[in-house]
Structure 1
Amino acid sequence: MRKLALISAALLAGAAPAHAATIIFTGGSSATSGTAGNIRTFSGGGISVQASAFSYNSATLGTGWLGDYSSGLGVTDGSEGNGGSNNSHTIDNVGQYNLVLLVFDRAVKISSAVLTPFQIAAPAAADNDAWVSYGTLAGAFTSTPTPVAPGSGVWATLNTNGTNNAGNLGAGNLTTFSTAGHFANVWVIGAARPGFGAFDANADGFKLGAITVAAIPEPATWALTIAGFAVVGAAPAAQAGAARRPRLSALKRRGSAAARESVRG
């Protein structure tokens, strides 16, 4: 049984699947402007995340207003007034580069997102190319939302890891990201930026409708699974032992009977 448990543990350690979940941001009806630096919290599949808005003007990073709308999350930065004109309350790269900072309660990877496009620079068509990055910040989000300052050191990591991802303008607007295999507790989804890979010349503006994330199971979960394998493996062994015991008893009875017959003879 001990050998079976060790084998089970080795197999599980080598094939630990990630726990997948979808976190949905649609269905809101907030104003298009408000106090910059606000935080909104969401959850899905047992994974929690806090979201906040930032913008970058090629020199300075600052906070923005994070709105929650019927199509998802959008950003209104300090240069966009009340965000009510030309769909400027979206995550866009007109004037400043808007982004949404996502801080999770555990390390996750984001494999895809729904990026609903909006036209923000007529006559150019709506587009949804995105800049995506990841990093790690200890103690960023445990049980209560914790603001991440523009001066936090995690931004240097995010700037290094960032890549542009071509948006999907087809049905559903589900865009697959090129960050497969990377787990981190801090992620950024923003409008495409120059210098981080090719993207078309169209102005990008979209709302973040949902994300597909995966988290590695907690060690305790795997310990229980391994224990379950050990118990399952022990059952046949116990049954085999129980089957042998009657046969041994029968042999003993036959031996005793033969001995008595020999004495009588």
Structure 2
Amino acid sequence: MTATELVIDGVTLTAGAHRLVEDVSLTARPGEVIGLVGPNGSGKSSLLRAVYRILRPTTGQVSVDGTDAWSLPVRQLARTVAAVVQESGAEFELTVREVVAMGRTPHKRLLDGDTAEDAGLIRSALTAVDATDLAHRPFDQLSGGERQRVLIARALAQQPSLLVLDEPTNHLDIRHQLDVLGALRRLPATVLVALHDLNLAAYYCDRLYVLCDGKVTAAGPPADILTSQLLSEVYGVTSEVTIHPRTGAPQVTFLPGASRLDAPVEANPSVS
């Protein structure tokens, strides 16, 4: 597994008359972990779909190591880019090991069986997400958090040079959130990940891109861009941002009762 460079250059995405993302540019250098943060509906998932070729840009280009990702043959793209999406369903009538083994498909010819190398990579992927004990369980009988870990293991087994993840910590308990993000941090691949938890993003990501209303509002190292003012403007909340004394990463504390939505509601004068 080696790292690749991702360049998103002036990408606009639309769905009918609705503009999802407008003129977004982003660079992920080889080996970086880049975080996408922003409120619901800000365009994070849409932008990721353009990278793993579900949503074609209306304008602009997505490039992988200098080549337009949309011009790559499907098999070559699958050897380069792996994706973990939010809604994957549980329709697989397969065991966990068989689901993870699907990650090896881009590296095989039709009817090829598993090699000793494949078996080792599948074991390593399951170990990375603490799922070795699930290997022989039916995938469709797992909990949401267990399924999420298995799908991440499948992406790891694919050995991509670019890994794209949409809220990979959804459904995971605290321990497995840390385990999964730690595993991503140690990969030799480039990682583009959308996260809601700003403290996890601040600790595990090299740089953050803040999206709001389909546009990049700020970009840079977490310590430079995670400020109380930005969080107020983007999320509409009051917060305090400090530097954690042990990790050295920004730590965000949200203050309850200080949202723009907490303004008093006027009573209807017509109602007695």
**Which range, TM-score by smaller chain?**
under 0.3
The TM-score normalised by the length of structure 2 is: 0.24
The structure in which a higher percent of residues are strand is: 1
The structure in which a higher percent of residues are helix is: 2
Q: Choose 1 or 2 for highest CA Rg.
A: 1
